[in-house]
Structure 1
Amino acid sequence: MNAWQVARLIARKDLRIERRSRIITNQVLPFAGVTMVIFAFALDANTDVLRVVSPGLVWLATMFSLLILVQRTFAVEADDGALDAMRVAGVDARAIFLGKAIGLAIQLLVLEVLLLLTAVVLYGETVRLEGAVLLVTTLISATCGLAAVGTLYGGLAAGFKGRETLLPLLTLPAVAPVLIGATRAVESALGTAGAAVSEGWQWVSLLTVFAVAFGVGGALAFGPLIDE
């Protein structure tokens, strides 16, 4: 099998594990929902401020949830020795990276859509028809970047003791450009504070460059990192 076929199998395996364990529905979604509700209570005194900061709150909740998803997916591999077994069997590290990233990206996309719906309900945000294409493009590009970073540093931290605390230290600084770019792009898509749709495309370009850089770099570096 070629690398793409192997990546599809790994992604399917991760999604099947998630479907059976229901971690995203039983743990990640409640955690993200509680985070959004806490933000709503903290800023409830000023609904105008709540609407302005709602795109940033959505992505903050997404990044906190990303840590849980990454820790979960690599804990399964590390505890059963599956990651080492795949490497001993000669599975291409690039295929492992791509498969893990695809599985993670699909879970993140579902989470982001639900968080946006939560922002509409809790924060009174509205989705403009003219910003729909920008919103979808932002979600896809930002998710690819987050999945690539999470997979790369998740694989690196999986072999160390105290990986639960090491992973946030590695991941959060690296995804800061995604937080900034995705927040600004979503603000433009939703028209937050009068932002125009045209202003968001430059941020989408940043997100795309970030996703490509970490996708290519992660695929090349993943093998040596997990082998060490």
Structure 2
Amino acid sequence: MLSTLFGLITVAETVMLGMVIALRRRQPDWALALLALVLLGLVWDNAVIAIGATVGEGDTLEALSFPRYAAHGVLVPLLIMVGVGLARRYDVRFFTGATAPAAFGAVTVLLITIGIWLDIVTLDLEPTRYAGTLRYTNAAAHGPPIPAVATILILIAIGALLLARTRWPWLLIGSIAMFAAAAAAVAGFWIGNVGELILILTIWFTATRRMNPQPAVSAASGPSKQH
């Protein structure tokens, strides 16, 4: 059953949450704290879908489902600032000053505001069954989720800058994979959840790589060797 897949994603993201917390203890960083918050929301999201058919349709599952949407509306755009934090740690020139982080912070606040409107204020839950799963979906939703799509596109841009700066491709790969998974989710909503797991894994991998930073690339010395 598809519920089993969501159970496995829940376990994987719970493990990822523990890894992020452990990494933050070694490297105190606000970006990792934000990533942990996002992961908490994703763990809840997948766990509720995993147990939906067991809980059954009714007030209990509906109550458990509301935080799923609240978390997506409020927490997912925080990944933009996670990307900004990683870019600053990698000394990407565009993010080293105060202007770009402030601008991206403003965009994040705007997307959170839109998410609150779409996923909290106008939320209209209705039960939906698919491949053995039972979940509550937003009947008021029309078109693609703007905050999530914008977040992914910004992460793709940050990932491209990281690749140009350090030749470290994983944030870009994870962001593109998430974008492709979101597009493919029209054929099966579970694909988007798998994409989220891949994205979080590549973000964590990018954060751990910073433990062994590469020297800056300069015109005089040429590109540094990769290990």
Q: What TM-score, normalized by structure 1, do the two folds share?
A: 0.32
Q: Which protein, 1 or 2, shows the higher relative CO under an 8 Å CA cutoff with sep ≥ 6?
A: 1
More strand, by proportion: 2
